[in-house]
A and B are shown apart, each in its own frame.
Chain A
Amino acid sequence: MLTNELALPRLSLESARPSEARSRGMNFTTDEDLVVSAQKGDRQAFSRLYADFAPMVHGILLARVPRDEVDDLLQDVFLTAMKRLGSLRDPRAFGAWLATVTRNRAIDYHRAPHGSKLPDQIPEPRPVETEAWYVLQAIRNLPEAYHETLTLRLVEGMNGPEIAARTGLTEGSVRVNLHRGMAMLREALARKVV
């Protein structure tokens, strides 16, 4: 059944995000409309949701699983979401629902046994990657409430209101998570605690 690859997602993410397109005055479908259409079986609508919500799913996964696994798991999440989309009763809750599907997928990943094979040769990372890796580890080591929000902000480049709208968290929660998470991150980086 899952045979026809979708031709859409080579678009730049910016041009495919309805919310950003709307803010530029373009006449675009809302996320809720897209969810309703996708629930009726419209794969173009689902592909737009894929482009629109991929950064959120990517960020939530990156905060929880090894970087090399993120892209595969991202696809898993959207395929799972596609199969279960009919069970979503409130289209407005799509973002929060998808975030939960993503977190559950990350939990499943850690429950499953993984091989511990190492490649024969491990290349030396470039200095900039080393520091980036170090910072990402510091973010991942923050309490759960903070590492996800901070990853969406610092890695995915989403702003606070966008994180709230996408994940279903209140703006207040996102503000607090960003504020406290950033304070803890600064402290961790200053103490070089990873």
Chain B
Amino acid sequence: MSGHDDLYLWDKSGPADPEIQRLEALLEPYRCGSLVPLPLPARIPMLPAWLAYGAAAAVVVVAVAWFVMRGVSADTWTVAVLSGDARVADVPVAGSARLRAGQVFETGAAGQASIRMARIGRLDVEPNTQLRLVVSGRNQQRISLLHGTIHAHVSSPPRVFIVDTPSAVATDLGCAYTLHVDPGGDGVLRVTHGWIEFNWKGRDSLVPTGAMALTRAGLGPGTPFFEDSTGEFRQALLAYDFPPNAQSRSRALAAVLNSANAHDAVSLLNLVRNSPPTDRPAVYDTLAKLIPPPAGANRDAAIAGDSHALDPWWPAVGIGRAPGR
């Protein structure tokens, strides 16, 4: 979500959106009012403890037996449909189903689902989403998000869970994030916790908590930025990452560097990694102007394209060292 109206829509912070305020006032008469007392008994009737525990034990025994008989392994992905319609391998799913490597899972216009990923976490799937489980193994769990929206909550070690999209590869470095891909192959990544490595054909960005990155079909991922960065900076970054021509790109770079502030250091760090060699000195020098270079920083090595030369910078911009770096 971006923009002030979305902030107000989300948690009522930021400048109020007049249209939303008007709807709130209009709909207030429908709001839950004072409650009619519930006709409760003096004490809530409960199952006897021995019966409750007995029933729970019986459920556990039956569940274990069911799993053993079905041969469910540690690499199993289980889909639970929460609402609407959903299909596994073109077969409608009612309730829950297994998802095997090679199979496609898709949700309809009102379909929402939660997928338990083998040993590594949970994937919430929004309506109109289509994904394929590519690999479910001990060292790698990989899906291809063809289109739609997923929310991933991953607890595995870094680089185990990977999502392919038509224009970027998202490699989990231990995190939670939302990834959307539209039918044309463009996408948006929002990281809510941890880090994501977002790469495609030589572009390789690190996206930390609170940042997002766009991706364009045929071009790959753009530079990550924080959602609360200025509109001017974001527009300039967009023009630089996805320019209509080379001339406009040089103008956009100047706008990026002029509008950047210390809060945008993560974007500049990624830009040093991914910009052409001719652009890197100006980007690096702007970064060094906004944030004092940390001990061990090496301008020449960074400009020469040595990505490890930027490692000392990550803690310096206040977001900690990226996993595996």
In the complex, A71→B11 CA distance in Å? 27
Indicate whether A58 reaches chain B with its CB closer than 8 angstroms. Answer: yes
Indicate whether A110 reaches chain B with its CB closer than 8 angstroms. Answer: no
B30 touches A67 (CB 8 A): yes
- Chain A residues near B6: list those with CB within 8 A: 179
Indicate whether B83 reaches chain A with its CB closer than 8 angstroms. Answer: yes
- Chain A residues near B28: list those with CB within 8 A: 155, 157
| Interface mask (A82-99 → B, CB under 8 Å = 1, otherwise 0) | 110111010000000000
**SS of B interface (majority):** mixed
A4 touches B34 (CB 8 A): no
- Chain A residues near B36: list those with CB within 8 A: 9, 71, 75
| Interface mask (B33-53 → A, CB under 8 Å = 1, otherwise 0) | 011111111111111000010
Indicate whether A13 reaches chain B with its CB closer than 8 angstroms. Answer: yes
Q: Known A1-B45, A41-B44, A170-B151; judge A175-B27 contact (CB<8 A).
A: no
Q: Known A172-B178, A182-B20; judge A43-B40 contact (CB<8 A).
A: yes
Indicate whether A193 reaches chain B with its CB closer than 8 angstroms. Answer: no
Closest CB in chain A relative to B154 CB, distance in Å: 13
In the complex, A41→B9 CA distance in Å? 39
B35 touches A50 (CB 8 A): yes
Indicate whether A178 reaches chain B with its CB closer than 8 angstroms. Answer: yes
CB contact list, B69-97 vs A, under 8 A: 83-84
Which residue of A42, A71, A75, A135 is within 8 Å of B23 (Cβ)?
A135
**SS of A interface (majority):** helix
Indicate whether B127 reaches chain A with its CB closer than 8 angstroms. Answer: yes
A47 touches B27 (CB 8 A): no
Nearest A-chain residue to B51, judged by Cβ:
A86
A145 touches B35 (CB 8 A): no
A59 touches B32 (CB 8 A): yes
- Chain A residues near B20: list those with CB within 8 A: 154, 182
Indicate whether B325 reaches chain A with its CB closer than 8 angstroms. Answer: no
Closest CB in chain A relative to B58 CB, distance in Å: 13
Closest CB in chain B relative to A10 CB, distance in Å: 6
In the complex, A157→B12 CA distance in Å? 10
B42 touches A43 (CB 8 A): yes
Nearest A-chain residue to B128, judged by Cβ:
A143
Indicate whether A132 reaches chain B with its CB closer than 8 angstroms. Answer: yes
Nearest B-chain residue to A172, judged by Cβ:
B151
Q: Known A59-B32, A67-B30; judge A1-B41 contact (CB<8 A).
A: yes
- Chain A residues near B52: list those with CB within 8 A: 86-87
Count chain A residues whose beta carbon lies closer than 8 angstroms to a beta carbon of B. Answer: 68
Which residue of A4, A42, A75, A157 is within 8 Å of B31 (Cβ)?
A157
Nearest B-chain residue to A44, judged by Cβ:
B40
- Chain B residues near A112: list those with CB within 8 A: none
Indicate whether A15 reaches chain B with its CB closer than 8 angstroms. Answer: no
A132 touches B27 (CB 8 A): yes
Q: Known A1-B45, A143-B110, A173-B126; judge A154-B27 contact (CB<8 A).
A: yes
In the complex, A73→B142 CA distance in Å? 44
- Chain B residues near A8: list those with CB within 8 A: 37
A156 touches B9 (CB 8 A): no
Closest CB in chain B relative to A96 CB, distance in Å: 10
- Which residues of B are in contact with A by a Cβ distance under 8 Å? 1, 6, 9-12, 19-20, 23-24, 26-32, 34-47, 52, 56, 83-84, 109-110, 112, 124, 126-127, 149, 151, 153, 176, 178, 180, 190, 192
Query: What are 14 residue pairs bridging A and B, where the CB atoms are less than 8 Å apart in the complex?
Result: A2-B41, A13-B32, A13-B35, A46-B44, A82-B44, A132-B30, A155-B30, A159-B11, A160-B10, A173-B151, A176-B149, A176-B178, A182-B9, A185-B23
Task: Give 12 new A-B contacts, CB below 8 A, not counting A5-B40, A6-B38.
Answer: A7-B37, A43-B40, A67-B30, A132-B27, A144-B84, A155-B30, A159-B12, A160-B11, A172-B178, A173-B151, A179-B9, A186-B19
- Which residues of A are in contact with B by a Cβ distance under 8 Å? 1-10, 12-13, 38-43, 46-47, 50-51, 54-55, 58-59, 62, 67, 71, 74-75, 78-79, 82-83, 85-87, 89, 103, 128-129, 131-132, 135-136, 143-145, 153-157, 159-161, 170-173, 175-176, 178-179, 182, 185-186
